[in-house]
Amino acid sequence: MKYTSVRGMDDILPQHSSTWQEIESKAREIFSSYGYNEIRTPILEKTEVFSRGIGEGTDIVSKEMYTFQDRKGRSLTLRPEGTAPIVRSYIQNSLSQISLDMRLFYIGPMFRSERPQKGRSRQFHQIGSELIGPDSPYADAEIIIQMNKLLKEVGIQDFDMQINSLGCKKDKEMFSQKLKSYLKGKENGLCEDCSRRIDKNVLRVLDCKNDKCKEIVENAPDVSSCYCQECVSHFETMQKLLNKMEVKFRINKKLVRGLDYYTKTVFEVSHKGLGSQDAIGAGGRYNNLVKDLGGPDVGAVGYAIGMERMLLAVVKDMHKKNKKKISLISLGDKAKAQAFQLAEDIRDAFNIPVLCDLRDGSLKTQLRNADKQNVDLVLIIGENEIEKGIILVRDMNSKQQIEVPVDIILDDIKQRITEF
C-alpha cells in the first residue's frame, strides 16, 4: 500500500462512527444537565502553554509532544491534552468575568508520541470537563459524580475509581522533600526512569509499575502525613459527598498522576478488561494552574476520559438502543421513483435512517446490500407490486415477508418501529 495513515493515528471508520456519536451525544446530554458549555480550542498551541502548564519534568512534555517550528521559527505543539489550552483560553478571553464558576466541556483529538499498542495511540480523543472558579470540595464531588454518571450511562459497568489527595501546593512540596529523603541511597534499586525522576518528578516514583520500584516505595512515607488541616477537611468532605451519592471509590495513597499541575484531589478510573492500558479516564484539582499561566487566583478541577478506551470498555450492546434502519429496494424505473419518494416520506414521518438502493441491481444483490448495512426492515417495490398497489415488507431479523397495501404503509411501519 502506497499511502497509509501515520503510525498510531487511526481513521474512525463509518462502521464505528455511530457508536462514537452515541457516546458523544450521551455525554453532551449529561454535560448540559450539569450546566456545562462546550469549549473548542485550537489543536495547535504555543509550546510554553504545555511546558509551563503540564511541567517540564513530566513524560508528556519531556518526550511525548509533537513540537515543531513554524515558518517564522515559533515553537508550536499539537495539544497532548485539553486542560492547559482551556486555562489559556479562560485567561485570554476573561471568562471569569462572564461567570465566577465556569463550567466547560470539550471533545476532540489529542496527540502524544507514545509507543502505539492496544488502547494507546498517537492521536486519540478525549471527552473532558472542567470546573474553573471554586475551591470547594463540592466542586470536586460534582466533577467526580458527573464522570461516574457518564461512564455508567454509556454502559460501562465494572470500573474502578481510585482517589487520593496530594495536599495543597505547600503540602505537596513538603511531601516531595520527604519522599526524596526516603529515596536517597536507594537510587540503584530503582528503574532507570525512576532514578531520573527523583530530581525532576519524584512523586511519579510512587506509581511506577516496575516490581523493584514497587518494592522500594512499599514503605515510603504516606502523603497524608503532610496534609494541612484545610486539606484534611477538603478530602473528608468530598468523600462524604461521594458516599452520599453512592459513587463507588477506593483510596489509593500512591496515586499521583503524571501531570505536574495537580494539587489536593486526584482520581483515576480503570477497567480490568482493557489490558495494560487500563486507565479510561482521570483528573483532579489544579488550583495553581490558572495563576501560573498568568490568570486570577482561582480554584479548578476537571477530568478527561479517553474515547478509544471508553469504547473498548463499553460492554452493553449500544446498538440495541439504536434507531431502526429501513432500506428500500426497487426493480425498474417506475418502482425506483416510487421508492425514492416513499423513502423521503418515511424520513419525514419517523426521523429514522432510511437507505434507498440507487443501483439497478437484481433483487438478490439489493437484498445482500441491505443485509450488509444491518437494516431491520426492507421495503421491496417491483412492477408487480405497483400493479397490485402493495409493497413487500421484509423483516430482516425474522426473515418474514408480507404484502402491505401502499395506502397503509406508513401506519404499518409506525407499528413495527414501536414494536422493535
Sign, CA dihedral 382-383-384-389, equals positive
**Nearest distance in Å: CB 261, ligand HAM:** 8
* Spatial strand order in the sheet of 265-271: 37-38, 102-111, 123-133, 299-306, 279-285, 265-271, 159-165, 250-251
Q: How far is CA 169 from CA 152, 175, 190, 265, 336, in A?
A: 33, 10, 26, 12, 70
Q: Which of 26, 88, 103, 112 touches ligand HAM (CB under 6 A)?
A: 112
Query: Given the DSSP bridges, would you call strands 75-78 and 102-111 parallel, antiparallel or unpaired?
Result: unpaired
Name the helix (H) or strand (E) containing 380.
strand 377-381
Residue 133 touching ligand HAM (CB under 6 A) = no
Residue nearer to ligand HAM on the CB measure, 235 or 303: 303
Interface residues for ligand HAM in 74-103 (CB under 6 A)?
Answer: 81-83
Residue 140 touching ligand HAM (CB under 6 A) = no
Q: Which of 306, 354, 381, 393 touches ligand HAM (CB under 6 A)?
A: 306
Q: Which of 309, 325, 336, 394 touches ligand HAM (CB under 6 A)?
A: 309
* Long-range CB pairs of 64-69, under 8 A, 24+ apart, other chains included: 64/112, 64/113, 64/114, 65/111, 65/112, 65/113, 66/111, 66/113
Interface with ligand HAM (CB under 6 A), residue total 25
Q: Which of 190, 304, 335, 356 touches ligand HAM (CB under 6 A)?
A: 304
**Of 121-129, 151-159, 243-251, 347-355, which part binds ligand HAM (CB under 6 A)?**
121-129
- Taking the C-alpha atoms of residue 158 and residue 414, their distance in angstroms, rounded to an integer, is 37
Residue nearer to ligand HAM on the CB measure, 36 or 303: 303
Residue nearer to ligand HAM on the CB measure, 255 or 346: 255
Q: Which of 114, 160, 207, 412 touches ligand HAM (CB under 6 A)?
A: 114
**Of 113-121, 174-182, 238-246, 326-334, which part binds ligand HAM (CB under 6 A)?**
113-121
Residue nearer to ligand HAM on the CB measure, 300 or 329: 300
Residue nearer to ligand HAM on the CB measure, 146 or 327: 146
Residue nearer to ligand HAM on the CB measure, 315 or 337: 315
- Taking the C-alpha atoms of residue 345 and residue 365, their distance in angstroms, rounded to an integer, is 25
**Of 9-17, 124-132, 196-204, 405-413, which part binds ligand HAM (CB under 6 A)?**
124-132
318 three-state secondary structure: helix
Residue 308 touching ligand HAM (CB under 6 A) = yes
- Taking the C-alpha atoms of residue 197 and residue 183, their distance in angstroms, rounded to an integer, is 11
Residue 299 touching ligand HAM (CB under 6 A) = no
SS (H, E, C) 142-197: HHHHHHHHHHHHCCCCCEEEEEEECCCHHHHHHHHHHHHHHHCCCHHHCCHHHHHH
Instruction: Tell me which residues touch ligand HAM (CB under 6 A).
Output: 81-83, 112, 114, 120-121, 124, 126, 128, 130, 259, 279-284, 286, 302-304, 306, 308-309
